[in-house]
């Protein structure tokens, strides 16, 4: 407000902060404008206000009263400095789900100095991902994502703009197209055949298999061949154990709390606590791996396969680019892209298959029904399974859908950032606000799903809901411009991997354990998997 203070032959007009109540001025805070004081030395100066001061005061009043109050989403009470960080306990997706039950499906939190909106309803998700897709399709910057994306030279974390659009087009047209998907089919089938042989050896010995480790090796073998041209079983510079450890450390560090992300000057604390050092060490290992991949591809005389891998494709495009002013592909773009594929493509698919097997073991009725379908439709005594067999199955596809619903590998979609103010479910969302969509909460919303915690594939029998981004109650791959570009590749790996497990083997629990002993506790950072691996005994059916 404006107050008038009288002094000796002087009028002083001053603007004070309007602290306000629960609402804020547009732009996220109070409007501050300073009016120049009038200094009139004549005895009759009380009524002699200069034109400049009248203009200044008019501007203050105009700006003050024309700026509309924002209707911001509700949320829990925040504390000074830390905001709502004290409200975050346990696994983030479950914590946010519980908070949303109290504060609504569009909820506002403060992570330190950063404003974050949590979306937990399908209507609000549709507004963000469809209605306001263009306004909300940028990404916030964090110290970890900046590192692992090579200064945002990737598809997943790059802010919206010309560079991201060019990379996205490259991914859709060259790297993950239907043509490329079919060209890489032989790799997926060969690795699954080898996977079945290894499980058959364990079956002969009647020894339990650590499915978590076995599935990671399967998917990592596929990804390393199609992306890097590296056979994980005979690579000179990477092996099964080291690649699993590197992926795990990279993912954990990506989601680890960093003061730099939420507080001005937070980098000082990150340096003191060793967070910066840990990030640099893991990135150095990751970068070393990618450099060896690139060096291998750039060797003189190296033979390019008939179906070139992702790195070959990108190197070829980089070598052919012209000298015009258009987007230029660099080695950092290549490393940023294969970083996305490596960190997002392996654990997500392996985790999904593991959750599917876990739920099937806990639900014998569903296990019997899906195995009966698989073996009846495909016939008995097959030596190998192909991806063409997938199109013949119905109930099997419902099992896949139900797994994506109940156990999305990434229960929180990567956060978006608003590029302009928007309205969301009647609330004002200012520019530069982070938006997180809790797909875990959507998939377990009792308003959308009957008995949402029950594993029941039949709920999808009418075919009205799919997981490819058009139905906003089921979003394992996201939607809109930022939908996962590798979705079709991920689905293919999950479906073929699970089909081989169900066709070739019956499954038993280790001696002395029952279904009730299967641990369902979750763990993880960005990707949420089983804390305790699933140990099962593969049994060849007679």
Of 223, 204, 135, which is closest to residue 486 (Cα–Cα)?
223
Q: Cα–Cα distances in Å, from 419 out to 140, 230, 261, 431?
A: 10, 40, 18, 6
Q: How many CA atoms lie within 13 A of 108 on its CB side?
A: 19
Angle between helices 275-297 and 240-255 (to 10 degrees): 140
Report how far residue 308's alpha carbon sits from residue 301's, in angstroms, rounded to the nearest whole number.
15
Structure tokens at 462: 């009418």
pLDDT score for 542: 66
**Could you give the percent of the chain with pLDDT greater than 90?**
76
Task: Say if residue 136 carries a ligand binding annotation.
Answer: no
Pull the structure tokens for residue 407.
Answer: 């156990």
Full set of structural domains in the chain with CATH: 2-66 (no CATH), 149-208+215-227+237-313+330-409+452-504 (1.10.630.10)
Give CA angle at 58 (55, 63), nearest 5°. 125
pTM: 0.87
Residue 104's pLDDT band (cuts 50, 70, 90)? very high
- State the Cα torsion 402-405-410-415 to the nearest 10°: 150
Predicted pLDDT of residue 413: 97
Label residues 97-135 b or e (16+ Cβ within 10 Å = b): bebbeebbbbbbbbbbebbbbbbbbbebbbbbbeebbeb
Mean pLDDT (whole number) for 418-438: 98
| Confidence label for 38 from pLDDT (cuts 50, 70 and 90) | very low
Backbone CA torsion sign across 469, 445, 521, 145: positive
Write the CB contacts of 80 (distance below 8 Å, at least 6 apart in sequence): none
The predicted-structure confidence for 215-261, as pLDDT tens digits, reads as follows 999 999 999 999 998 888 877 777 777 888 888 888 888 878 899 99
- The pLDDT value given to residue 337: 96
- Using pLDDT thresholds of 50, 70 and 90, give the confidence band for residue 523: very high
Q: How far apart are CA 497 and CA 362, in angstroms?
A: 19
CB atoms within 10 A of CB 465: 16
Q: Annotate 221-241 with three-state secondary structure.
A: HHHHHHHHCCCCCCCCCCCHH
Q: How confident is the model at residue 67 (pLDDT cuts 50, 70, 90)?
A: very low
């Amino acid at each position: 407000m404006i107050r008038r203070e009288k002094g000796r032959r002087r009028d002083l007009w001053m603007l004070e902060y309007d602290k306000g109540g629960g609402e804020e001025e547009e732009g996220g805070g109070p409007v501050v404008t300073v009016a120049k004081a009038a200094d009139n030395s004549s005895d009759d100066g009380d009524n002699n206000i200069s034109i400049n001061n009248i203009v200044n005061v008019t501007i203050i009043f105009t700006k003050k009263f024309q700026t509309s109050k924002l209707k911001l989403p509700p949320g829990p009470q925040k504390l000074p400095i830390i905001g709502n960080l004290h409200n975050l306990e346990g696994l983030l997706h479950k914590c946010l789900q519980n908070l949303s039950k109290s504060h609504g499906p569009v909820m506002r939190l403060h992570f330190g100095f950063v404003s974050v909106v949590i979306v937990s309803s399908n209507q609000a998700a549709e507004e963000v991902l469809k209605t306001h897709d263009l306004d909300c399709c940028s990404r916030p910057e964090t110290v970890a994502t900046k590192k692992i994306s090579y200064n945002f030279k990737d598809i997943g974390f790059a802010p919206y703009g010309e560079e991201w659009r060019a990379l996205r087009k490259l991914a859709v047209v060259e790297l993950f197209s239907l043509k490329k998907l079919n060209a890489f089919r032989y790799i997926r089938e060969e690795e699954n055949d080898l996977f079945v042989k290894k499980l058959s050896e364990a079956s002969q010995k009647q020894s339990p298999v650590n499915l978590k480790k076995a599935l990671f090796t399967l998917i990592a073998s596929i990804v390393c061949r199609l992306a890097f041209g590296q056979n994980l079983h005979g690579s000179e510079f990477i092996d099964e154990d080291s690649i699993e450890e590197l992926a795990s450390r990279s993912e954990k560090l990506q989601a680890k709390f960093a003061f730099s992300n939420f507080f001005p000057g937070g980098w000082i604390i990150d340096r003191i606590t060793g967070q910066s050092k840990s990030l640099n060490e893991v990135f150095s290992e990751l970068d070393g791996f990618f450099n060896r991949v690139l060096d291998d591809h750039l060797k003189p005389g190296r033979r390019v396969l008939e179906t070139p891998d992702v790195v070959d494709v990108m190197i070829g495009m980089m070598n052919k680019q012209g000298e015009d002013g258009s987007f230029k592909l660099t080695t950092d773009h290549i490393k940023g892209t294969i970083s996305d594929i490596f960190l997002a493509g392996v654990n997500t698919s392996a985790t999904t298959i593991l959750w599917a097997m876990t739920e099937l073991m806990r639900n014998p009725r569903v296990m019997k029904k899906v195995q009966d379908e698989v073996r009846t439709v495909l016939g008995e005594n097959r030596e190998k399974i192909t991806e063409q067999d997938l199109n013949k199955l119905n109930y099997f596809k419902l099992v896949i859908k139900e797994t994506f619903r109940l156990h999305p590998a990434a229960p929180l979609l990567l956060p978006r950032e608003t590029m302009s103010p928007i309205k969301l479910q009647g609330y004002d969302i200012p520019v530069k606000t982070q938006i997180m969509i809790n797909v875990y909460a959507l998939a377990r919303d009792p308003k959308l799903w009957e008995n949402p915690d029950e594993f029941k594939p039949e709920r999808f029998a009418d075919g009205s809901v799919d997981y490819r981004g058009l139905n906003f109650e089921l979003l394992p791959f996201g939607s809109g411009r930022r939908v996962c570009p590798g979705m079709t590749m991920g689905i293919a790996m999950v479906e073929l991997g699970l089909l081989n497990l169900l066709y070739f083997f019956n499954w038993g629990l280790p001696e002395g354990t029952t279904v009730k002993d299967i641990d369902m506790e979750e763990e993880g950072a960005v990707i949420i998997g089983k804390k305790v691996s699933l140990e099962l005994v593969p049994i060849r059916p007679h």
